[in-house]
Amino acid sequence: MSEGSVTEAIAVAGAGRRRRAPENWRPLLLLVPAFVLVSLFFLAPLIDVFVRSVTDPQPGLQNYAWLVSTEANIAVVLRTFGTAIAVTAVCLLLAYPYAYLMTIVSDRTRNLMQLFIMMPLWTSILVRTLAWMVLLQDTGPINGLLAAWFGIGPVPLIRTTFGVALGMSQVLLPFMVLPLYSSMAKIDKRLLPAASNLGANPVTAFFTVYLPLSRPGIFSGGVTVFILGLGFYIIPALLGSSKETMISALIQQQISVFLMWGQGTALGVFLLLCTILILVVVSRVNKQGSLFPGVER
């Protein structure tokens, strides 16, 4: 940009917003420390990862070609997204009534409910996963009870997609409950009686009034859980079998075992691009309000 055009532009802008303009850029200075930190520890490595994916071991797109031409990779990518979607759905189904309950109970009960949600977050994921391993294994207490009471089993629980989804949902549930609760807490409770006054039965009132109003919570919770779910490593490794391997394990293998950093970084970049794409799509849908049929904005 030439010096002249800058002065010109300032003059034009200054004419429009005479009073605010001089201070306008100063607040940005507050961002400098954060920006430097993000550049150093996030952007720079990210750029490095991207560059490696197209230069290691030689320049070209061979790592991406490997990614899409290897059957195992495609299977793992599809499985990763499938698992993350399943976990998001499970979390939503469990968290929605829970968060709703939190908005109607007394303060004391709500605090207790919040404690139940937060408490698992204070325990290491590894410890919780080991506990699931004990519970779910073929010789574990759950299968023991099933055998003793119903004479069935052992039902395969560990080393199944079910086991992985269970473990992941337990870890991710708080990330669904909290945004849901915060958006539900803002909903005016009088809207529901108002709807029934106008002739809506409870089901209609829920779907036409309450659900759309709680949508911001569904979206932020859903996106958080989904994206966190994509990157899970320990739980699929311990509660799943090889048939539940997710992308993180594949990346770890390429980086730490095969020392094929080009291929590992290509997987990482691919996962990041997919995530960004999903975020863009979801935010579009969210804004236009067409996710739920019959709701027009």
To other proteins, the closest distance from the beta carbon of 241 in angstroms equals: 5
Cβ contacts of residue 25 below 8 Å, gap of 6+? none
Q: Which of 248, 280, 260, 223 is nearest to 87 (CA)?
A: 223
Residue closer to other proteins by CB (options 103, 253) is 253
Burial of 143 (0-12, 13-18, 19+ CB in 10 A): buried
Residue closer to other proteins by CB (options 115, 127) is 127
To other proteins, the closest distance from the beta carbon of 186 in angstroms equals: 26
Contact 76, 233 (CB under 8 A): no
Residue closer to other proteins by CB (options 205, 244) is 244
What angle is formed at CA 89 by the lines to CA 177 and CA 160, rounded to 5 degrees? 115
To other proteins, the closest distance from the beta carbon of 259 in angstroms equals: 5
Cβ contacts of residue 56 below 8 Å, gap of 6+? 63, 261, 262, 265
Q: Which of 126, 117, 144, 151 is nearest to 221 (CA)?
A: 117
Residue closer to other proteins by CB (options 17, 186) is 17
Residue closer to other proteins by CB (options 214, 263) is 263
To other proteins, the closest distance from the beta carbon of 63 in angstroms equals: 14
The site for other proteins (CB under 8 A) is made up of 6, 9-10, 13, 17, 21-22, 24-26, 28-29, 31-32, 35-36, 39-40, 43-44, 70-72, 75-76, 133, 137-140, 159, 237-238, 241-245, 249-250, 252-253, 255-261
